[in-house]
Amino acid sequence: MPKKTMGSAATRRVNRVSGFFCALLLTVLSFSGGPVQAASSDYEIYEGFKTLARIFYEVNVKFVEEPNSSEMVTGAVRGMLNTLDAHSSYLTPEEMNEFQQESSGSFTGVGMELSSKDSNITVVAPIEDTPASRAGLLSGDQIISIDDKNVQDLSLNEVVKLIRGPKGTKVTITVHRPAVKKILTFSLIRDFIPLRSVRSEILSPGIGYVSISNFQAETANDVEKAVGDLSKTSPLTGLVLDLRNDPGGLLDQAIKVSGLFIGAAPVVNTKGRTPDQNMEYSSDQRAILPFNCPIVVLVNEGSASASEIVAGALQDYGRGTILGAKTFGKGSVQSIVRMPDGSGLRLTTARFFTPSGRPIQTEGIIPDVEVPSLLPANYKPVREIDLERHLLGANEKPGESADAVVEESAEETEETVMPTKSFREMTLAERLEVDKQLSQALEMLQKGQVRSRFTGDVPFSTHKTIG
């Protein structure tokens, strides 16, 4: 009976791995459009995969302990995507399931949008009325540890996985708050985050308020219902549409929500590397308010992606007056590619542009009326341009520093007194006292200082409509 050696076992294992990489290489090259040496780029890919396969071989044969091949493949994929932009990522089957739950409007956790900035996992915005927002976490907080586990070498997806967990369980999050140069620790109880995306109320006779916290599957329907409910007593003579701290969500909902105010019209354009990514997306909705009903759209540093699409469209058409602070500036399209094993690829494939052609990526939406956000003294919010590996904007030069962004003066921010309770816990009168953006929007509507310039005519040419 032949003797079974470690070397022969490793060789058989590596032969299987080599076979896998050969099949993968042929698949990749088939997508690139030709035989292995038909083009120099194909040859470079071939040589790169040879190196990758050799490294895989060396690790499998010589590493001090038998490695986990599945984890190595996942690590290789994540490393590849980490060379791209801040929003492209690999999702394991478990992460894909969580992504689908979020899109449907619910998950269990503490409720905050995270991103990567300068190798730090940073809070983009806490979701309203969640454990994170009630505890006082703020945009720009840098996560140091979760339950005493240092997150410095963890990916964004790994950090999210640590934060989430069963409802009712405790998670301790330690953050560095650069504005005040302090280390803060928050003990949070995980909860069901329903992501109720739409809230509404009457601010004063005839003036309604609709807030969108994120764009999920039923957001447009919920907005339509909210406006209808507000109009039951008497027709609205003005509306405040609050998109502050709205990190975005589903593109089709942003298009439909825009259509509720501008009717059937182009909402956003995308431009990518391939012709099929150069699209114009139009709404086919019926407007739910007369075009002469004035709208003030509130935005701030946490308004991103889908919320910037809505604000940009209403601004381009003169349908709404944008009030607040410059938005986050996330103007990139992520396509989700499902893999046979249930995993997924979240890949940036295009940039967003407003109907008139203005770029959103790193530029953001600049308000018509600028009113500083309620932020702690000397606090610098995080925007897309601050993120590590962010996709360059159409007008951004490589290496351009985000520090060039004009900040509010220290004199203005030092006088800011932060409220002791969340807006959700306040009466309307209390909110108007501390929320200068909301109070100014209401005052402008009450005094008739807001006019809609939109008459229903579409000033921008259409070339392809996607419902």
Catalytic residues: 305, 316, 330
Strand bridging mode 369-370 / 321-324:
parallel
Query: Angle, to 10 degrees, between the axis of helix 69-81 and the axis of helix 40-62?
Result: 140
DSSP for 140-196 reads TPEEEEETTEE-TT--HHHHHHHH--STT-EEEEEEEETTTTEEEEEEEE-EEE---
Pairwise CA distance, residues 309 & 314, whole Å: 9
Pairwise CA distance, residues 332 & 86, whole Å: 10
Alpha helix (H) ranges present in 232-319?
A: 251-262, 306-316
Residues across the chain: 467
Element (H, E) at 467: none
| CA 45 to each of CA 77, 84, 90, 111, 220: distance values in angstroms, whole numbers, following the listed order | 15, 17, 20, 41, 45
Pairwise CA distance, residues 172 & 151, whole Å: 13
DSSP state of 3: P
Pairwise CA distance, residues 320 & 12, whole Å: 66
Pairwise CA distance, residues 72 & 51, whole Å: 15
Pairwise CA distance, residues 349 & 274, whole Å: 9
Pairwise CA distance, residues 374 & 383, whole Å: 16
Residue with tokens 């929320």: 435
Pairwise CA distance, residues 392 & 400, whole Å: 9
Pairwise CA distance, residues 291 & 87, whole Å: 36
Strand bridging mode 238-242 / 295-299:
parallel
DSSP for 384-426 reads GGGSTTPPPPTTPPTT--GGGS----HHHHHT----SS-GGGS
